[in-house]
């Protein structure tokens, strides 16, 4: 947007004047999107996607007055560009695309990003990474009969499903997993406090065992938070299995134990 079609669709090389306008499209994108508050954290994507000097030395195309060093938003853009037809040339064959991307690892492109881009099947929209768990769908079987606790359980399930969905993408950024896990841990603490207060108020006899379960969950999630922060690849798999098993067990077994108790007390 902001660059006329006579330039975007030109079948031949651009003139120097046309290149000046073409290179402004990242600035156009920044100016167009920056007033939208919720998009601010993502502005580096449209603004910096032509940065291709990972080593700080090999930037050939200066699209912005303040080019970044040590970042790489350009690899995927380049891969998508040369893998598709353009008015001025046909798409490259897959092997040529992969060889080109591979040759620029460590100079133009972040080697870790190149590693992801070279995954088998990526150019065909496939990935060797699979969703390890099915998302959990809320149903009446999860209801413990107390409206507030049911709502909290639903929120915990939503957070678990967000993490499952993140794991199913081409690449899972450890910070994303860590952020969701941190949010889930904090929300679980709120949920546990609500449960404890309710149990104390009505004299639930299984409160001691409940506290042990809570302490075990808290310790486990702290370990996971530490691991995902440093980006250990194996952790998200173990994390998903643990959280999935824990959440279903917590609701269907631990919390169902007090369903009849609170029903008898008239708690809704």
| Domain end marker among 124, 158, 188 | 124
Query: What is the per-residue pLDDT for 64?
Result: 53
Same domain, 156 and 57: no
pLDDT in tens, 142-170: 888 888 888 988 998 888 888 777 765 54
Same domain, 55 and 166: no
Query: What is the per-residue pLDDT for 15?
Result: 92
Task: Report residue 50 CA to chain centroid gap.
Answer: 22
pLDDT in tens, 57-67: 544 444 555 55
Same domain, 113 and 60: yes
Same domain, 189 and 253: yes
Tokens 């499903």: give the residue. 161
Q: Could you tell me which residues come within 8 angstroms of residue 231 by beta carbon, excluding any fewer than 6 positions away?
A: 174
Task: Read off the DSSP letter of residue 233.
Answer: T
| Domain end marker among 124, 156, 176 | 124
Structural domains in the chain (count): 2
* Domain contains 133: no
* Domain contains 132: no
Same domain, 11 and 117: yes
Q: Is 145 helix (H, G, I), strand (E, B) or coil?
A: coil
* Domain contains 157: yes
* Domain contains 186: yes
Query: What is the per-residue pLDDT for 59?
Result: 46
Query: Is residue 179 within a helix (H) or strand (E), and if so which, with residue range?
Result: helix 174-202
Same domain, 174 and 232: yes
Low-confidence ranges of the chain (pLDDT < 50): 58-62, 70, 126-129, 170-171, 230, 232-234
Same domain, 118 and 148: no
Q: Is 89 helix (H, G, I), strand (E, B) or coil?
A: strand
Same domain, 116 and 215: no
| Alpha-carbon gap, residue 71 to 80, rounded angstroms | 18
Same domain, 107 and 146: no
Same domain, 144 and 260: yes
Q: CATH number of the domain at 99, please.
A: 1.10.3210.10
First to last CA, the chain: 55
Does this model's pTM top 0.75? no
- Structural domain including 164 reads 140-265
Nearest by Cα to 98 from 113, 111, 83, 77:
83
């Amino acid at each position: 947007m902001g660059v006329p079609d006579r330039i975007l669709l030109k079948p031949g090389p651009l003139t120097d004047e046309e290149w000046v306008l073409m290179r402004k499209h990242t600035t156009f994108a920044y100016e167009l999107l920056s007033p939208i508050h919720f998009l601010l954290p993502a502005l580096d994507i449209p603004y910096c996607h032509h940065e291709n000097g990972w080593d700080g030395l090999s930037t050939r195309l200066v699209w912005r007055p303040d080019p970044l060093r040590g970042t790489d938003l350009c690899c995927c853009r380049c891969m998508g560009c040369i893998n598709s037809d353009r008015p001025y040339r046909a798409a490259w064959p897959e092997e040529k695309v992969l060889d080109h991307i591979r040759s620029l690892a460590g100079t133009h492109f972040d080697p870790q990003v190149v590693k992801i881009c070279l995954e088998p099947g990526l150019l065909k929209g496939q990935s060797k990474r699979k969703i390890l768990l099915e998302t959990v769908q809320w149903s009446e079987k999860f209801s413990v009969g107390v409206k507030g606790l049911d709502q909290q359980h639903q929120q915990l399930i939503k957070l678990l499903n967000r993490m499952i969905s993140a794991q199913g993408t081409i690449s899972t950024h450890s910070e994303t997993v860590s952020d969701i896990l941190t949010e889930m841990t904090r929300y679980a603490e709120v949920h546990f406090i609500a449960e404890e207060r309710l149990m104390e108020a009505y004299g639930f006899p299984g409160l001691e065992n409940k506290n042990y379960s809570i302490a075990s969950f808290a310790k486990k999630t702290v370990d996971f938070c530490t691991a995902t922060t440093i980006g250990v690849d194996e952790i998200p798999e173990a994390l998903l299995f643990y959280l999935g098993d824990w959440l279903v067990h917590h609701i269907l077994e631990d919390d169902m134990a007090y369903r009849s108790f609170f029903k008898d007390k008239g708690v809704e």
